[in-house]
Amino acid sequence: MTALDLVAVLARWYVALSLLAAARGKSGGFDAFRRSLSEAFPVLGRADAALAFAIVAAEWAIAAALLAGGMSAPLGTVAQYGAICGLALFASFTVVISLSILDGRAIVCTCFGASGRRMDGLDVVRNLVLIAASCVVLLRGPLSLPWPLEAILAGLAVVGVVATVRLRELAWLLRAKAD
């Protein structure tokens, strides 16, 4: 077992738990999520509900694939497919967010549940971190470590997910401390 093995398993947990947090938040505030898609992209028309459902379903499914793939070697390819799909999802989100920011369009962030704030560069940074983590999972391949070690890495991933979800507040605290 190498340090890269540990980083890859940590990355798998981080991506999976981030997707679970996002899927849970969007599921709990599904109407707000659907509405934010409709307002940000009026061209969707009535397809906004179908797109919202597809995004939430994809987040749940990718998280499940990443978690199941880490349970045993035979399921390892499931984690690989999950990482590929996660990478595609995060890249798509990043492109849409970046283009919206550049166009000056206001998209309300419902990434982890209902919110009233506009998306900005911190959302792009968060997605780039998730893209990098997905790449680590892909490059290293599926790994299953002894459960005590998996539990420690999962706990560290929880800390990472909380930091990801609360990135805006952390950035504000760091700026306030620097001033």
Q: What pLDDT shows up at residue 150? A: 85
Q: What pLDDT shows up at residue 43? A: 84
In the chain, the number of structural domains is 1
Choose among 106, 110, 96: nearest CA to 32: 110
Helix 30-40 / helix 48-69 crossing angle, nearest 10 deg: 120
Q: What pLDDT shows up at residue 18? A: 96
Q: What pLDDT shows up at residue 25? A: 92
122 contact partners, CB below 8 Å, separation of at least 6: 167, 168, 171
When the pLDDT of each residue in the chain is averaged and rounded to a whole number, the result is 87
- Does the pTM of the predicted model rise above 0.85? yes
Q: What pLDDT shows up at residue 27? A: 93
Our CA dihedral for 26, 29, 32, 33, rounded to 10 degrees, sits at 10
Q: What's the whole-number mean pLDDT along residues 1-21?
A: 92
pLDDT above 70 covers what percent of the chain? Answer: 94
Q: What pLDDT shows up at residue 24? A: 94
Q: What pLDDT shows up at residue 142? A: 66
Residue 79 belongs to what domain range? Answer: 3-178
The H or E element spanning position 54 is: helix 48-69
Choose among 105, 109, 114: nearest CA to 167: 109
Show contacts of 10-13: CB within 8 Å, 24+ apart. 10/153, 10/156, 10/157, 10/160, 11/133, 11/134, 11/136, 11/137, 11/140, 12/66, 12/69, 12/70, 12/79, 12/83, 12/137, 12/143, 13/70, 13/150, 13/153, 13/154, 13/156, 13/157
- CB atoms under 10 Å from CB of 98, counted, come to 15
Q: What is the pLDDT of residues 43-79, one digit of tens each?
A: 888 898 999 999 999 999 999 999 887 666 666 788 8
Q: What is the pLDDT of residues 12-34, one digit of tens each?
A: 999 999 999 999 999 998 988 89
Q: What pLDDT shows up at residue 170? A: 82
Which two tokens mark 73?
């070697």
Q: What is the pLDDT of residues 126-178, one digit of tens each?
A: 999 999 999 999 887 767 778 898 899 999 999 999 988 888 788 788 877 66
